[in-house]
Amino acid sequence: MVRISALSDDLLLKILSFLPTKVAISTSILSKQWQFLWMWLPKLEYDDYEIICPLSSWLRYDEFIDKNLPLHRAPVIESLVLRFCHGCLSQPKKIKRWVGIAVSRFVRELSIGYFCSNRKPHDVLSLPSSLYTCNSLMTLKLEGETILVDVPRIVCLPSLKTLKLQRVTYSNEDSLGLLLSHCPVLEDLLIQRHDEGDNVRALVVNVPSLQRLSLRIGIECSSSDEYVIVTPCLKYFKIEDYRGFPSYLIEPMPILEEAYIEVLRTMEKILESVTSVRRLSLESVSRFSLGPKEWYLTCKEYEPVDLKNKESTVPECLLRSLETFEFSSYMQTQEEIDFLSFFFKHASCLKSTPITDYVP
């Protein structure tokens, strides 16, 4: 049997990478071979979620990161996760310094979750300006209303492919647009807005390289905010918007493959921009026209439509290309029966039609 001490450092590092960072660091007391091994870990994760009272435990964890992260020696940090569910107990200045250290170690993936129950000025986390010029950064995930996205005048993220901004706050209404305009190879973007306190008034996504876009707009966001989307290479589009009367300007998405749309209003306006889509899921459907494309269509809710005398307005895709249609929450109402009768009469290319009953 091979003793673990006989294993190579590279193999031991792979083993340590499966452990929580704090546990991996604690192995330094095992022997001289293990004493400095943790310093070369390519992936680091610090999460205070499992820390329970007393307060001293949180403070010690804060000190633990502050002491050990600067000692890290790996030439490249593949991934760094900083997650603070008790953000108000961590000092934002320290977190800012830790991010700066990661940037100096050519971090490739950075994920920060910072949550505070109160939005007090001294709890706001502002990230170092060096982050916005990090050539190695490929993935950036930020979550928390007290994270301030304060984009400097000089910004360049030439390697960033994945960007997720969830319930963050922007320093001004131009910050998001400035950030996106300097991500030349960005492919995957998620933006989640919680309320109008994030300082966004006009959300502009003009990213020619983007392939996946997900938008989640909370009900407390202002309906007067405008949304402009210019993404000619988009393949996947998801939007969840719970506002009353939002305003959209969406340029055509000619190679779109899949779309998930859940909105209270303006459904038809959005559908006009996704006529090339092949797989479409709708959460709230009103009257709309479908283009001549082969679609997978999922409708979970719809407004009753008078189908009498509609023979001249049958959607082209229903006649010639629609192959799969899913209807959920079927309640056997007269409107549903009329709709399905109309649908099956004209869906000549249909191959699959899953219908599931409503379950209260």
Look up the pTM and report it: 0.79
SS3 sequence, the chain? CCCHHHCCHHHHHHHHCCCCHHHHHHHHHCCHHHHCHHHHCCEEEEECCCCCCCHHHHHHHHHHHHHHHHHCCCCCCCEEEEEECCHHHCCHHHHHHHHHHHHHCCCCEEEEEECCCCCCHHHCEECCHHHHHCCCCCEEEEECCCEEECCCCCCCCCCCCEEEEECCEECCCCHHHHHHCCCCCCCEEEEEEEEHHHCCCEEEEECCCCCEEEEEEEEECCCCCEEEEECCCCCEEEEEECCCCCEEEECCCCCCCEEEEEECCCHHHHHCCCCCCCEEEECCECCCCCCCCCCEEEECCECCCCCCCCHHHCCHHHHHCCCEEEEEEECCCHHHHHHHHHHHHHCCCCCECCEEECCC
Q: What local confidence, expressed as pLDDT, does residue 225 receive?
A: 78
* Tens of pLDDT, residues 137-148: 999 999 999 999
- Which of 19-33, 244-258, 314-328 shows the lowest per-residue confidence on average (mean pLDDT)? 19-33
Average pLDDT over residues 213-242: 89
Q: What is the residue-averaged pLDDT of the chain?
A: 79
Predicted confidence at residue 4, as pLDDT, reads: 63
Q: What is the pLDDT of residues 201-210, one digit of tens each?
A: 888 999 999 9
Give 251-303 pLDDT, tens digit per residue. 999 999 999 988 876 677 787 788 788 888 877 644 444 444 444 455 554 44
**Contact 198/173 with Cβ under 8 angstroms?**
no
Where exactly are the structural domains of the chain?
Answer: 66-186, 287-360
Q: Quick one: how far is CA 190 from the chain centroid?
A: 3
Burial class (CB in 10 A: 0-12, 13-18, 19+), 40: middle
The mean pLDDT of 71-93, rounded to a whole number, is 81
Q: At what angle do helices 55-68 and 92-104 cross, to 10 degrees?
A: 30
Q: Using an 8 Å Cβ cutoff, are 77 and 108 in contact? A: yes
Measured CA angle at 166 (ends 161, 168), to 5 deg: 110
Give the pLDDT of residue 335: 74
Write down the pLDDT at residue 290: 46
Most confident of 44-58, 87-101, 300-314: 87-101
Residue 229's pLDDT is what?
95
Q: Is 314 in contact with 330 (CB distance < 8 Å)?
A: no
Residue of 48 and 219 predicted with greater confidence: 219
Is pLDDT above 50 for 62?
Answer: yes
CB 89 within 8 A of CB 59: yes
pLDDT value for 269: 74
d(CA 213, CA 113): 21
How far is Cα of residue 257 from the mean position of the Cα atoms in its chain?
18
Give the pLDDT score at 192.
96
Is residue 14's pLDDT more than 90? no
